[in-house]
Amino acid sequence: MSARVIAKPNQQGRVGKTTTAVNLSACLATAENKTLLLDIDPQANASSGCGIVIDEQTPCVYEVLLEDVPLMEVIHESDLPFLSIAPSHIRLTGAEVEMVSVTSREQRLKNALLKARETYDFI
């Protein structure tokens, strides 16, 4: 079975993207759906809002996108059963510029999600 992927993209700030993502993830997990919340905002509010605190040495989504670290290696379990978090960090801020010369950059996230899609019900 492959996970259903739900995305909430929007360039505009302060419209509730993080709040929606965190609450939807929590609701899905509460219903005992194995859920992965992927935080790809450099502010990392979804990560910290779920109690995940990382430092400069802790791998996050930045390393997944730019250093080929497997997504499954950066995932943290939350205090809520069935909810896992792939955290972000402020270092993700420069990722867009850094990825300009990366081969197949448009496929990085999709490819990173392949194994996770086999493990989770929702991403």
* Tens-place pLDDT, residues 33-69: 999 999 999 999 999 999 998 888 999 999 999 999 9
CATH architecture of 17-119: 3-Layer(aba) Sandwich (3.40)
Task: Output DSSP code: residue 100.
Answer: G
* Residues 83-109, mean pLDDT to the nearest whole number: 92
Question: Residue 109 corresponds to which amino acid?
Answer: L
* Residues 16-39, mean pLDDT to the nearest whole number: 96
Q: What pLDDT score does 102 carry?
A: 87
Q: What pLDDT score does 67 carry?
A: 93
Per-residue confidence at 1, pLDDT binned at 50, 70, 90? low
Strand partners, 84: 36, 77
Q: How far apart are CA 25 and CA 68, in angstroms?
A: 25
Structural domain boundaries of the chain? Answer: 17-119
CA 64 from chain centre, in angstroms, equals: 10
Q: Which residue has the tokens 């859920």?
A: 35
Whether 123 and 46 have beta carbons less than 8 Å apart is answered as: no
Give me the DSSP letters along 33-86.
--EEEE---TT-HHHHHTT----TTS--HHHHHHS---GGGT-EE-SSTTEEEE
10-20 per-position pLDDT tens digit? 777 777 889 99
Q: How far apart are the first and last CA of the chain?
A: 13
Q: How far apart are CA 22 and CA 45, in angstroms?
A: 9
